[in-house]
Structure 1
Amino acid sequence: MANFTSTYDGVSDHAAYTCDLNAPKITGPFFILIFILSIICNSLLLCVLFIYENLKNITNIFILNLACSDLIFTITLPFWAVDHLHHWVFGDFFCKFLTAAFFVGLYSSVILLTAMTVDRFITVVLHNWPISHARMKRCAIGACIAAWVISISASLGDAMKVKVESWDGKNYCYNDSEDKLGRYLQVSLLFFLPFAIIILCYSAILMKVLQGLNRKKSRTVAVLLCIVAVFFICWGPYHIMLLITSFYEPKGCKAKEQFNIAYRICEMLAYSHCCMNPLLYMLSQKLRKHLLNLLRCENVGRKNRERSSSLNTSVTQNVAFSVQSSAD
């Protein structure tokens, strides 16, 4: 059987290790590829946000936090890759720490996407609602803080359930908890409940769009809808597999092998999500333009020249004022 990392596995007991349930050989290299793509894409996105975009914009606040969430998730991938290619060699502390990081990235993404969807719902559907932009911004910042607090708190529970044990001379980082009800409730509350909220919000948003929305807003809504859709396409099958493991355990090696293959396919699809968001943001013409400017270092140099010119002008004005004051 493949080494159990931070993910839940319904067939991780000792008996399962007597069957040939090793992870596909492509899994480890695939994780390394996703790690490289995610680091590059999310780092470029952060550079674009900090250099060209207005971080006081509510949507950009959410995008910034989502990029950080993806990067936190991404840093765990090389460790899981080594685990799949070999076995767990990083000790008990890193088993718990990386499990926590894994779930912080996962939970924060779900909560941030839900908050972003609610923000779009208020902006598009409840646009006549008497709420100021400043208050909306405070609510967005509060939602981001809440997302991190909730995800960190929930991930600590997951981290405490994993441990390193040795079988046949190899170490495995795995979840030995038998609390299937707790697993079911956590998956429901932190995945399917946000999914239901997002479906309801976007149903109302799409109805409003069909009634006639200006082109700029409809484009923004389309990009965010793609982001949410890709998230649930990537993570949905994985969470369905988690629910299945809560009440079903395959009998016999053949059934366990087939179940393990399905699980690993869903796992690879889910893990690939961390590099998807930056690619989806490139649907925005403005962000594509910013990225090209960043790669050519055009506006960066221009901004530095403008900043230098402004500083020189200010110094010149101060000197002139001082000379004039002395003459008087």
Structure 2
Amino acid sequence: MKQIESKYYKMSQIISALNLPDYRYEQVIKAIFTQRIEQFSKMHLLPGNLREVLIQEFGDQVNSIVPIVSKDSRQANKLLFQLSDGERIEAIGLHYKQGWESFCISSQCGCGFGCGFCATGTAGLKRNLTADEITDQLLYFTMKGHKLDSISFMGMGEAFANPHLFDALSILTDTALFNLSQRRITISTIGIIPGIQRLTQDFPQVNLAFSLHSPFEEQRSELMPVNKRYPLGEVMETLDEHIKRTGRRVFIAYILLKGVNDSKKHALAVAQMLHGRGSWKHLYHVDLIPYNATDKTFRHFDISDRKSINEFQDILKKSGIHTTVRTQFGGDISAACGQLYC
């Protein structure tokens, strides 16, 4: 395994240091991902000295994070995990009627960008997750027999603000480990331009979602302070370049806030902004997201009514913009977009 900051690389180094054959590493990985053995002490196919060293290095549990609370609704399961230092994060499992399973994971403990409508932003940033803490959220679901049909970095935190993100992506796409296709992974960003650019270069097939929420620079800066550092116009130019270089669709996430950003004026401005992108405008897809109410934010927002949502969508469609209204799961257990808080 190539050198990255992860326990899997450390395992390969331990095996090498013990002068054990390379197939011992393959046995460890098979025990984890195929046999789903959760404790090193129960990997009886391994020699005793290797098991002892692995336990000394990592503890007996393969997974570094511990589930402490689980909440279920009709099609969503929210897990509260405790990390080794006592910090906590949340991850969501979504289960669709067709049998498809999707998982929404966190990249940070909290978030430091302070978007006004987001509960996670109210909590502030505590720290970045390590690559193992990111991927161990999915390891938990894998160990429980779930199929990782798709995953999204839409949980707590801004993924591109975490320098360990790209190591996590290397782990997830490693054919010997999680073996996920890049196209099964979606990263959501509020517009961190260097992160978008690196994704374009290193993981061009990973899906990209951009949180817009207002087409007007001044209002977007008010709702999302990051806009002052990475202005909307510059972000859109970066997204244009991403599309040109990858040929991949970009999703535009737009949370509808009643009386704030759900007017016809906003819809027309979004349509005009995307319609003028050039010959690749058809690769922008707008996901309209009904606001998920939370009492954690400093400012109160209300949910747009169905009439306003339909009118917004109709304006985009008539302008030739691909758009859908996202189906929301887990709002009753505070597991929907913008509600994660711990």
TM-score by length of 1: 0.19
Higher relative contact order (CA 8 A, sep 6+): 1
TM normalised by structure 2 equals 0.19
Greater share of strand residues, 1 or 2?
Answer: 2
